Amino acid sequence: MRFPILAAAAGIAALAAGPASADPIKFEYWYGLSGHLGEVVQQTCERFNQSQSEFEIVCVGQDGYAQAVQNSIAAFRAGKHPTIVQAYDAGTADLMMSGEFYPVQQMMADFNIAIDWDNYFPGISNYYASSKGELFSMPFNSSTAVMYYNIADLKKAGVDTPPATWEEFGADLEKLKASGKECPFAYAPSSWVDLEQFSMAHNVPIATNNNGYDGLDAELVFNTTVHVQHMENLKRWRDDGLLQIRTSQGGLNARDSFAQGECSFYFGSIASHATVHSVATSDLTWDVAMLPIYEGYERHNTVVGGASLWVLSKKTEAEYRGAAAYLGFLATPESERFWSSNTGYIPVTKTGFKNLKDSGFYDNAPYKGREVAIESLTYTEPGPLTRGIRLGGFIQIRKEWTGEIEAAFAGKKTIQEALDAAAERGNAAITKFARLYKGKSLP
């Protein structure tokens, strides 16, 4: 959707001026974050409402990224959708091809709100931009995957530095086990960590057509790359007692197993950094590092995770003015600092990161270590295989991968058989998506 550019700045001023006694213009924002992070989203909304009197943003939690997108689609069909929706990375291609959105870069220009789009980290902005570089959605809660490690456990096992390669990682697991550690590695299958971030760091494809960017008729190839070897290693470590699967079913999840000192390693989002601090035992000594890579591979940048803010079509001009004002508010240095301070998410702009770094933000706990995510995202300039993933039906592809890997870890099939099956069914999802948009191209 391309909302008509306002005729003149005078028109904007007239619309903004309204009677002093007029009720504020209300518009809705549906978000997927829950728990503590959802509470911080609500605080951003309250801060915006308190900063001015013309607009009132009504922020409604949807208890999950998938629900936020699905509920918005259902509401859209009934004409009751929100103005803004927080959509996670996996839904990017679906939203782009739908066309039912107001490109955020265009919207901000239409309402004369100056944003330096070049100030956004390329590894973040590329994920949400068209082939011409126009931002379709506003980067918001951004993250990447990192390795969490227990300093004291490694020291006890005779390891002075965290592993930089997967070969070193496997050797360290054996040393931890030999030192008496029952759970060297807390693990939960994650396509985002094990497949997506892993493939980016190694500069290997997940799918043809440069991971879908060059056409809708891509085919998954993750069952033919070093990813297979990696998943076989994970399975072997589990069989050898070096890895324990930890999910929230029947006990602590992988993150909390690490935070409670039960397990020495955990891989997850940098956004978990704040939570680990809040639930960690008082004697836990820990830090984070970039994901290991296999020997013989050159390290590349990892990719952004999290979500961005999409402005949906078929809303009023007044609601769009409110949305533009809110997104402009989020883009301020003060808002970036507030968000990064109260969550584990990273600043999305270069100046936002520089301001935090120059102020000593990353020098001490609880923020020390979060800069590793920026280092990982910017380790190299994003290339054709590391700028992101643009596959239709990617939500389904993630689900197929997870289900098959869980079956392999349960001993029902080999890793190769599992990945072959996940690729086959994932390709069916891509084909279905391409058929839906037959004759169209990615923007």
Q: Residues 33, 107: one domain?
A: yes
Sheet-wide strand order for 84-88: 55-61, 25-31, 84-88, 305-311, 138-143
pLDDT tens for each residue of 330-365: 999 999 999 998 888 999 999 999 999 999 999 998
Backbone angles phi, psi at 375, to 5 degrees: -60, -40
CATH number at residue 230: 3.40.190.10
The β-bridge partners of 267 are 147
Q: Residues 178, 83: one domain?
A: no
pLDDT tens for each residue of 61-95: 998 888 888 888 889 889 999 999 999 887 888 88
pLDDT of the chain along its 443 residues, tens only?
Answer: 443 333 333 333 334 444 445 899 999 999 999 988 899 999 999 999 999 999 999 999 998 888 888 888 889 889 999 999 999 887 888 888 888 999 999 999 999 999 999 999 988 888 898 888 899 999 999 999 999 999 999 999 999 999 999 999 999 999 999 999 999 999 999 999 999 999 999 999 999 999 999 999 999 999 999 999 999 999 999 999 999 999 877 679 999 999 999 999 999 999 999 889 989 999 999 999 999 999 999 999 999 988 999 999 999 999 999 999 999 999 999 999 999 988 889 999 999 999 999 999 999 989 999 999 999 999 999 999 999 999 999 989 999 999 999 999 999 999 999 999 999 999 999 999 999 999 888 88
Q: Residues 113, 254: one domain?
A: no
Q: Residues 215, 349: one domain?
A: no
| Structural domain includes residue 372 | no
Q: DSSP letters of 119-130?
A: GB-HHHHGGGB-
N-term to C-term CA, the chain: 12
Say if residues 397 and 432 touch (Cβ distance below 8 Å): no
How many folded domains does the chain comprise?
2
| Structural domain includes residue 385 | no
Angstrom distance (rounded) from CA 354 to CA 361: 10
Query: What's the chain's Rg over C-alpha atoms?
Result: 22
Segments forming the whole domain that contains residue 224: 145-302+392-436
Pairing of strands 286-289, 145-150: antiparallel
Say if residues 116 and 332 touch (Cβ distance below 8 Å): no
Angstrom distance (rounded) from CA 325 to CA 330: 9
Say if residues 419 and 191 touch (Cβ distance below 8 Å): no
Q: Which two tokens stand for residue 107?
A: 């919207």
Secondary structure (3-state) at 88: strand
The β-bridge partners of 142 are 306, 346
The closest alpha carbon to 212, from 431, 439, 436, 438, belongs to: 431
| Structural domain includes residue 107 | yes
Cis ω for the linkage preceding 347 (within 30 of 0): no
Pairing of strands 138-143, 305-311: antiparallel
Q: Which two tokens stand for residue 252?
A: 């602590």
Largest CA distance in the chain: 74
| Structural domain includes residue 384 | no
- pTM score of the predicted model: 0.90
Secondary structure (3-state) at 32: coil
Q: Residues 345, 234: one domain?
A: no
| Structural domain includes residue 366 | no
Q: Residues 172, 318: one domain?
A: no
Q: Residues 403, 310: one domain?
A: no
| Structural domain includes residue 335 | yes
| Structural domain includes residue 425 | yes
Q: Residues 260, 398: one domain?
A: yes
Angle at the Cα of 399 (from 397 to 405), degrees rounded to 5? 100
Q: Residues 297, 311: one domain?
A: no
Q: Residues 327, 179: one domain?
A: no
pLDDT tens for each residue of 1-38: 443 333 333 333 334 444 445 899 999 999 999 988 89
Q: Residues 318, 333: one domain?
A: yes
